[in-house]
Amino acid sequence: MTQRVIEITSESFLTEPMLARGEDISSFFDNAQPLCLEIGCGIGDFITQLAARHPERNYLAIDIYNKGCYKTCKKIDQAGLKNVRVMRSEARYLLANFIPKESLEAIYINCPDPWPKKRHRSRRLLNEAFLQMVLLYLRPGGELNFATDFQDYAEDVAATIAAMDGYTNCQTESLSTARPGYPVSKYMRRFLDQGLPIYFVHYRKRPDWTIADTEVRLSQGFRLKWEQVENG
């Protein structure tokens, strides 16, 4: 049985057809502040905290789940935040089609699906091809922030980034289990309250990094069908 798609009427919510008109995504904000992207916003705990702490930045929070976008919009609206927009989209498709290159101040990816079985690990979002793609869309000096409760995922990402030319580490170690000042979502808190660690990877795009677009394997990701309405 399919789930009903919840209609989202919040002014904070963007749809693919809105962006497909050709408008720059920055035009949907009230100012020209630096733009940051959260990939996989869940129910909005993290982005609500982050945007409240940094009103000098604009944030686009995306998720592939309709219900998560609905709950995120609700939190944002209740908090009165004007520097966040929410969109139901897949990350690679969004980047390849709607985000200008070298336009993002920061990217945040918290606790994505770890695909723990070995035969499924190729499905993980943060692989070498995606990390190369990210370099195209971060501005020089822009940050990549990754957090996961899965140690081997953190180790894989840290090792992959360390072998790439375009990043520099913002931490003293390749990954850490402490990130002072980093917002903690309810999902993260569940692990921390059990005494289990969250692993943080924090890198910055080198300001002097340049590469021809043809040298990066761009992935188009997958497109969500906005016009389709599912009935429960």
Q: Which residues are catalytic?
A: 113
What would the two tokens of residue 64 be? 């592939």
Long-range contacts of 182-185 (CB under 8 A, 24+ apart): 182/145, 182/147, 183/45, 183/46, 183/49, 183/50, 183/53, 184/46, 184/49, 185/42, 185/45, 185/46, 185/110, 185/111
What would the two tokens of residue 2 be? 């399919």
* Euclidean distance between the first and the last CA atom of the chain, given in angstroms as a whole number: 6
CB contact set of 209 (below 8 Å; sequence gap of 6+)? 135, 140, 165, 166
Residue 221 · residue 91 · CB < 8 Å: yes
Residue 37 · residue 99 · CB < 8 Å: yes
Q: CA of 166: how far to CAs of 104, 126, 214, in Å?
A: 15, 15, 16
Euclidean distance between CA atoms 35 and 44, whole angstroms: 17
According to DSSP, the residues that pair with 39 across neighbouring strands are 62, 109
